[in-house]
Chains A and B, each alone.
Chain A
Amino acid sequence: MLHESVPNLAKFVEPDRVRREVYTDPTIFEMEMQRIHERVWIYCGHETQVPKAGDYYTVQVGRQPMVMVRGKDGTVNVLYNRCPHRGSMICGDRSGNTGEFFRCSYHAWTFHHDGRLKNIPMMESGYAGTRWGRDNPDCNMKRAARVENYRGFVFASLAEDGPGLLEFLGRSKVAFDDICDRSPEGRVEVVPNCFRVIQHSNWKIFLENQLDALHPSVTHQSTGRAAREVELQIEKRTGKIPLSYHMLSAFATVTIEKWDNFQTLNYPHGHCILTGYMGLRPQDPDTLEYERVLTKAYGEKRKEEILTTNIHHVLIYPGLSVQSPLQQLRAVRPLSVDKTLTEIWHFRLKGAPEPIYRRALAYYNLVNSPATLINADDLENFWKAHQGLSSEGGDWVSFHRHHGRDLERDGMVETAPDCGTSEAPMRNQMKAWSQYMTAER
């Protein structure tokens, strides 16, 4: 077993390769939850998921079942979903409205939306002379150590110390700026639906795939080609191709060589950006109308800045993948060493014309729904990756592609020109992993 080697975790990660146990060992998984997911900023949800006082949504942060709740003062709180009395879970549903206060279903203890104890049945007679009572903070529902909200996106950290949210995000905060700025009002609201899909593989395998520019034309060529054939038939019949087909056919038309033209930008804390966006600026009437609305709101110069933001994916390590030009995100919830839940949300640009919402919705349905035409093959690959890593046929995972050619500047690592398929994002994620896992505390 690995227990003896745990103090030497640093040896599991080299700049260009990683030991397979990092993905498959349950002890390392538990340590990851303690040292990474239950310390750093984890995305809980968007404030529009809980518009009214008492609205709540449950969310897993690391291994901790939490509840995100809107208070009467408008604040969004994140609490441990647990009664301090005998430990019962307070909210048994995934979401809902708790009314004026939380009420434990076991012994009717009640709590304010910020977690403070409200009442215990027969509190005076029952607890007089004991250590238990309203003044004891242990009688409250425990709060996440820190909660911050950036442009409506709510994050929690279960550690008292560490960088603030904006310092943690660094330049990856562009994910939320890009989503919100594409709205003429500068804000978005959640589309009230969450697609939830379970992958039978380690959480890091999913994150590594998000910025893996080598895989799309291999993994997804079946869908790319199928969509290309059908879109050509449609074009023949009607003279035009629906934009939603382009999002699929690009997997065939953007060949493996072309992916080297994209670029990845790799930041501290493991965050990464993949540039390049399929169909960045179509010139159809709907897009032109949208551009007019944005110009009116922001002026020509700012509108151009917003629409030329060159992002395909932003990965916010260790738990969030954002596709800001399409206003959707995937939150990654590790369930066990070989099981990972993704929660997939779509956002509506407030004040933008309806067709813009519908275009992104088509991508949400075709790519991100549980009947996805794309991720079925990803998940098959993730499962195979995890199975293979469980084998003793080899000890290392290779991240050598374009290693040594990365350009370091301004505290970030950029892939060199025509090296878009570089495995720099994987190297960057594992660097952050190693720092978190071996940090002195």
Chain B
Amino acid sequence: MAKRKKAVKKAAAARKPVRGTNGHDTQHAVEQFLYRQAEILDGKRWQEYIDLFADDGMYWMPPEPSHTTWDGMPAIFAEDRNLMTVRMKRVLHPDAWSQRPLWGTNHVVGNVVIERESPDGDVVARSRFHMMELRRDDVRHFAGSYVHHLRKTKDGYRIKLQRVDMTNAQAAYDYVLQVWV
């Protein structure tokens, strides 16, 4: 019986929104952060996007879900702010030929779950995304999950680590990915 009670209690806890230690609604704050990040990305505001990352922040897309680190492993993306800056400067260069054609993306982020929140307000959050991309006349569709490790600062959250597990990562890429997903 005790076991059953414990399970019920656990299920109830899973249903309950996590509240921040300093009184604000963490769920809401994290969702707003993720939505804003998606908006910045679709708006091609590259420097703003990079500035969402902490100074030691990492953007990581493993080629398969079993990977637990980018360190010494093949990775589709494993970029600190320096490498992200190379990518930004590349796409902004007037002779980045592949950037010339009409190109745009649209991200929808959802299923936001707060995995844990530390007493100082740092958060680990899981979410799902769908992204459609238009390039010339071709539409591509990508989807997968994000894990955000967020650091609480006086100016809001900054990303320590964003892990992107793209379901499409298992398939052959029809053309390539030019910027972050």
Contact = CB atoms under 8 A, between A and B. Distances in A.
B93 A197 contact: no
Contact of B74 (A195, A222, A225): A195
Given A369-B74, A369-B76, A381 B176 contact: no
A200 interface: yes
Given A364-B74, A365-B74, A365-B75, A373 B86 contact: yes
B176 A197 contact: yes
A261 interface: no
A197 B174 CA distance: 6
B95 A222 contact: yes
A219 interface: yes
Interface of B: 61, 63-64, 72-78, 82-83, 85-91, 93-98, 101, 169, 171-178
Interface in A289-334: none
State the main secondary structure of chain A at its contact with B.
helix
B176 A223 contact: no
A198 B74 contact: no
B175 A371 contact: no
A24 interface: no
A105 interface: no
B86 A376 contact: no
Contact of B176 (A361, A365, A366, A379): A379
Interface in A335-364: 341, 346, 354, 357-358, 361, 364
A415 B45 CA distance: 46
A141 interface: no
Contacts of B89: 225-226, 229-230
Nearest to B177: A371
B111 to A, nearest CB: 24
Contacts of B98: 376-377, 379-380
B93 A371 contact: no
B175 A198 contact: yes
A91 interface: no
A371 to B, nearest CB: 4
Contacts of A357: 72
A198 B94 CA distance: 25
Query: Shortest 4 CB-CB distances between A and B: which pairs?
Result: A226-B89, A222-B93, A196-B172, A380-B98
Contacts of A371: 61, 76-77, 176-178
A195 B63 contact: yes
A369 B93 contact: no
Interface string A222-242: 110111011001100000000
A220 to B, nearest CB: 9
A222 B100 CA distance: 12
A34 B176 CA distance: 30
16 contacts: A193-B63, A195-B173, A197-B172, A222-B90, A222-B93, A223-B90, A226-B86, A226-B90, A346-B74, A357-B72, A365-B75, A365-B78, A369-B76, A369-B77, A379-B98, A380-B101
Given A225-B93, A230-B86, A373-B86, A379 B75 contact: no
Given A372-B176, A375-B176, 9 more contacts: A221-B93, A221-B95, A222-B95, A223-B96, A226-B88, A370-B76, A371-B176, A376-B178, A377-B98
Contacts of B97: 219, 222, 377, 380-381
A189 to B, nearest CB: 14
A248 interface: yes
Given A230-B82, A371-B76, A380-B98, A198 B93 contact: no
Contacts of B94: 222
A229 B97 CA distance: 19
B173 A234 contact: no
Interface in A182-221: 191, 193, 195-200, 219, 221
B35 to A, nearest CB: 24
